[in-house]
Amino acid sequence: MKLMDYPFYRLTAFLILGILLQYFFHLSFDFWSFASAICFTICLLAYFIKAFSSFSKLLFTGFVLLFFTGLGGLMLSLKSSIKLDEHYTHFVKNGEDAMVEIQLLEQLSSNSYNHRFYAMVQRINDQPTNGKVLVLFKRSDSVAFKAGHTLLVYDDINDASNGRNPGDFNYKEYLEGIDVYGQIYVDKPRILSLDFRASSLPWYVRYRNKLLQDLENSNLTSDSRSLVEALVLGQRQNVDPTITQNFRDAGVIHILALSGLHVGILLLILQFCLKWLKRWPYGIWIQTIVILVLLWCFAFLTGMSPSILRAVTMFSFVAIGMNINRNRSVFHSLTISAFCLLMYDPRLLFQVGFQLSYTAVLAIVLLQPLFMRLFPRIKYWLPNKMVQIFTVTLAAQIGVAPLSVYYFHQLPLAFLVGNLVLLFVLPVILALSLSYIALLQLGGPVSYLGELLNFIFESIISFVSYISSFKGFVLKDLYLRLDQLILIYVLILSIVLFLSPVLRRSRRERFKIQRANYGLHLALIALICLIGLDTIFDYKTENSFMVLHQSRGSAVAISNSQHSQLLVHFPSMDKERRENSLSRLQQIQTFRETQLVVDSLPAIIEYQEIPLVIIDESTAYTKTESREPILLISNSPKINLDKVITKLDPKLIISDGSNYRNFVERWKVTCEQRDVEFINTYEAGAVNLLKY
């Protein structure tokens, strides 16, 4: 069977092509509607043409593929722009205070400063609304918020960060991809009323909350309970941040993130436990139906989070394909599941979880058989399973490593040791945890099982902590461009295509040397392009002189192809926040692959004959001899900007993220009256001064 003979391969490929065209070129909804209608009409005409069967078949095939290209663009256009008339964005301006009634829906993992929730906006100034928003509470507030709380607050809804500095993560774009169009920081004094309405939550969320309460009252320790909540219920908010960081540094953070790995293991456990159903008439189909029902019950149990919804959909098709037992069933199942998910929401294509899930599974399917051919046949069960886990882990990590570097800029090298142990015991942990929760619901004896789980989880935490203590095994500050990412995957796929017919598994031969196929040629081309493009980008490195966006502080970046300077002023930050801010700023794109020096921000900077005068909270400033300087205002100085403009005659005034919003609005009006260009980094992001 040829690879592209299966129709869903081609349909999915052209659906993705349409999604990518819309994503990069932002074509109109009318264009995609017209194009899809034309293609569909031609398909119908070609289908009913009998006199020219060969021609009509070719015409029909071509325009079906073009129709799905148009459908991909049309679906993304709809998902990216549609907002109901009652959506809260129609009733409030960005940054404008209003009476906002919200209901907390789902608790997220907390960060160093805030507890985070997704919430539904129910009312704005007595106007009924809908739409999801990200809500952040200070960790220092004593109120124990949880899903089901309804709050009336007097506060503003604003946009999340859209990558205001070069190389920053575009959090706003990520949130919009899951239908969250704003965020609100809620201070305790601004909460006017607080009520708990559990009955308004979906039934599966209420049942999950009951399970969480039962676990809290059980004999599990706090760390064990938080890991059970993460592994079985997908709730990671109670996991100690130190434990999370240790799992991340050890390269096993995917163990805590409930995703395709856990659903795949659950599928194998269910197949093992239900294999007796195959003895019945039509037993294979009965077993498949029961497995699908249980998988979707598990999805409801975890609150139908996007990652679990995606994973359960994928493995539902895998379960069906495994029982059909046809050649290439795994590829077919993955393709159909991806097609259905992208038809449901084409924005999934750009979500990291979707990319990591499918890349990991495809890497396992393609690479793991090749790795197994390198090992001699093992007759004993335990060594054979260890080799299988080793090869599966290696294949998955090779598959996701480029994406991990592209998105997270680090690569843990200790993943083989950690995964070799944890993947071996993970099915046992999941089975014991599910049994423990089931016994809690049935009122059965759980004390001994709870003690066993405490021992296992404490051992795992200690083991992961030991692995993560070897800091040299975590490569950080790694960066890839999009073109490099694509070429690396082309290189990996080409090597697989070359080695597949070369490696043989037989008693007499392990390697079959043959004439180089097109896989080797494609791999060489990809390697040459990687080296060539990297050389070109290094040659094109330009100088930069930028005012960066930084809340509660100021930062200026100066860089060339070899050396960089980061000049900062953080007068109101504590030590922890200062270190976090410096770490984030040091990772911006202009500092990569250069020698970086961090220093304090002076009162005046001149670079390439461009003077930058800084006015901070001290209100003092230095008058430069250069004409038309650029003025940076930071940390909300109490100044008469009209007099400053008269004295310095600036050609540009920049307000960074450290200033009070009402000050910024007043300065903006003054600049408009004096005909001086004004830029607010909160709105415009980093400003490259070499353009002025």
Token pair, residue 61, equals 């095939």
User: For 553, what's the count of Cα atoms within 13 Å in the CB-facing half-sphere?
Assistant: 22
Please name the helix (run of DSSP H) or strand (run of DSSP E) that holds residue 217, with its range, or none: none
The SS3 call for residue 569 is strand
Q: pLDDT at position 507, please?
A: 46
pLDDT at 306 over 80: no
C-alpha span between 118 and 108 (Å, rounded): 7
Residue 624 binned pLDDT confidence (cut-offs 50, 70, 90): confident
Please name the helix (run of DSSP H) or strand (run of DSSP E) that holds residue 76, with its range, or none: helix 53-81
Q: pLDDT at position 253, please?
A: 84
Tens digits of residue pLDDT in 392-434: 888 888 999 999 899 888 888 877 788 878 888 888 899 899 9
**By percentage, how much of the chain surpasses pLDDT 90?**
37
Could you tell me where the DSSP H helices lie in 409-517? 415-442, 447-468, 482-499
- CATH code linked to domain 88-201: 2.40.50
The SS3 call for residue 165 is coil
pLDDT at 141 over 50: yes
Domain ranges of the chain: 3-81, 88-201, 203-251+414-478, 483-539, 544-691
Tens digits of residue pLDDT in 225-268: 999 998 888 888 888 888 988 888 888 888 887 778 888 888 88
Please name the helix (run of DSSP H) or strand (run of DSSP E) that holds residue 554, with its range, or none: strand 554-559
pLDDT at 512 over 80: no
pLDDT at 521 over 90: no
Q: pLDDT at position 514, please?
A: 54
Which of the pair, 286 or 512, is modelled with greater confidence? 286
Mean pLDDT across the chain: 86
Average pLDDT over residues 292-312: 84
Q: pLDDT at position 538, please?
A: 65
Say if strands 180-186 and 132-138 run parallel, antiparallel, or are unpaired: parallel
Token pair, residue 377, equals 């046949």
Tens digits of residue pLDDT in 42-61: 988 887 776 556 777 888 88
Average pLDDT over residues 7-32: 92
Token pair, residue 406, equals 């592209």
Contact of 234 with 303, CB cutoff 8 Å: yes
pLDDT at 66 over 90: yes
pLDDT at 376 over 80: no
Q: pLDDT at position 277, please?
A: 87
Q: Which amino acid is at 59?
A: L
Phi, psi of 650 (to 5 degrees): -75, 150
Tens digits of residue pLDDT in 199-234: 777 788 888 888 888 999 899 999 999 999 988 888
Exposed / middle / buried, residue 576 (Cβ in 10 Å: 0-12, 13-18, 19+): exposed
Report CA Rg, the chain: 29
Average pLDDT over residues 110-114: 78
Tens digits of residue pLDDT in 543-584: 889 999 998 899 999 988 788 999 999 988 888 888 888 888
Q: Which amino acid is at 205?
A: V
pLDDT at 304 over 80: no
Contact of 157 with 101, CB cutoff 8 Å: no
Token pair, residue 660, equals 């009070």
Q: pLDDT at position 1, please?
A: 43
Say if strands 149-156 and 410-412 run parallel, antiparallel, or are unpaired: unpaired
Q: pLDDT at position 475, please?
A: 83
Residue 4 binned pLDDT confidence (cut-offs 50, 70, 90): low
Token pair, residue 510, equals 């392990």
